[in-house]
Structure 1
Amino acid sequence: MTPTTEFLFRPEDATPMSTDEADLMPWPAAAEQFAAAPKYWLATGRADGRPHVMPVLGVWLGATLAISCRPGSVKGRNLLRDGAGGGGHCVVTAATDLGDLVLEGTARHVTGLARQDAVAAAFAATYDWRFALRDGRIFDDSLPGSPEYAFFEITLAKAFGYGPDGLTATRWRF
């Protein structure tokens, strides 16, 4: 998927931000940096509208970011509740060598066995974190009590990149 790449600010609003097209960050470079981030920050919304932000681990699968969390955690409950209507809205951020990246998207609970297996394999390859899949559910058997986890895949709607110089900003629309 090739997103539309554009400046975050209009020229009249940009000062002191750069409006030089050479400063636009190409999406492939941003996506590569995002995929290499060691951890992410996930923002979700509670039922009463208050925000909730927590660190998460994630893996890239093509054009989506997959995250793991406990289904009973606040973030898990927020995404499962919001996802009942077709997907939980969320924001994921990371600090990278190219600057700060922000992704807006919709998280979908991963329930199909083939996709759960693909996400579990990506977590094993990226973090050496191995999940066990049983009866459509996901467990971490390396921990006492084999706690249950859930996977969510985030489909991107918009992304923002801010350069390390503090004077460059790019927006991508998917």
Structure 2
Amino acid sequence: MTVPPGDHHGTRDRPRTDSRYGIPSDREGLLPWSTVADRMRTERTVWVTTTRPDGRPHARPVWGVWLENTFHCGGGDRTRWVRNLASNPAITVHTEDGESVVIIEGVAEKLTDETADEARLERIDDRYEETYGVRHGTPVFAARPTTVLAWTDYPTDATRWRFDAR
């Protein structure tokens, strides 16, 4: 349930918001997908927001890795955000920087030996080791995007990618 190769662009356009924010209406200056991929590949810590069973939001900084045009992160089964995903797989991933931003909104898919091939899980562990010096070792989730927002010079390059629900 990752973004399929060749379909990682989604539909690229402008975010819709109040006109007073000054986001241009034309396509001039839209960011390429490589901005998202390059930024996510270099992030060490991101903020993950999930929804508690009572509907309240829950945000936490987490480690994660970008692999195959998908953000992967994980945590122990007893952590609040992983328990939240068990009842509601909606997830938002946000880079730490508020000026050069990537926001991934979507659905988290828990990768298990039954749902992911062993080679993919091995590549995720390799990337964790490369980034953090440790193997992952806890349940891993792939954030399947429905919407991605990014900008480096807001509002002139504010860009949105929308993906079909799969």
Instruction: For residue 31 of structure 2, give the secondary structure of its aligned residue in structure 1.
Output: coil
- CA offset at residue 46 of structure 1? 0.5
Once structures 1 and 2 are overlaid, which stretch shifts more, 1-10 or 40-49?
1-10
> Percent identity over the alignment?
26
Q: Of Structure 1 and Structure 2, which has the larger fraction of its residues in strand?
A: 1
- In structure 1, distance between residues paired with 2:60 and 2:21: 33
- For 1:1-174, what aligned pairs fall within 5 Å after superposition? 1=7, 2-9=9-16, 13=19, 16-82=22-88, 88-95=89-96, 99-112=100-113, 114=118, 115-131=120-136, 138=137, 149-174=138-163
Structure 1 unaligned blocks of 5 or more: 83-87, 132-137, 139-148
Q: Deviations over 1:27-80 (max 9, x none)?
A: 122221122122110000011111000001111121211102121010111112
- The 3 A distance-change label for structure 1 pair 25 and 96 is farther
The TM-score with structure 2 as length reference comes to: 0.80
Secondary structure (helix, strand or coil) at the match of 1:21 reads coil
**Within 2, Cα distance between the matches of 1:14 and 1:66?**
35
Deviation at 1:125, TM superposition (A): 1.6
Q: Which amino acid aligns with 1:173?
A: R
C-alpha deviation, 1:96, in angstroms: 5.2
Partner of 2:4: none
Gapped regions of structure 2 (runs ≥ 5): 1-6
- How far is 1:157 from its partner? 1.1
- Structure with max Cα Rg: 1
CA distance in 1, matches of 2:37, 2:108: 18
The separation in 2 between residues aligned to 1:77 and 1:65, in whole angstroms, is 19
Following superposition, the deviation at residue 169 of structure 1 comes to 1.4
1:28 match: secondary structure: helix
**Structure 2 counterpart of 1:58, one-letter code:** G
CA-atom RMSD in angstroms? 2.3
State the Cα deviation string for residues 62-102 of structure 1 (Å, max 9, x = none): 121110212101011111233xxxxx110000045971111
Give the TM-score, by structure 1 length: 0.77
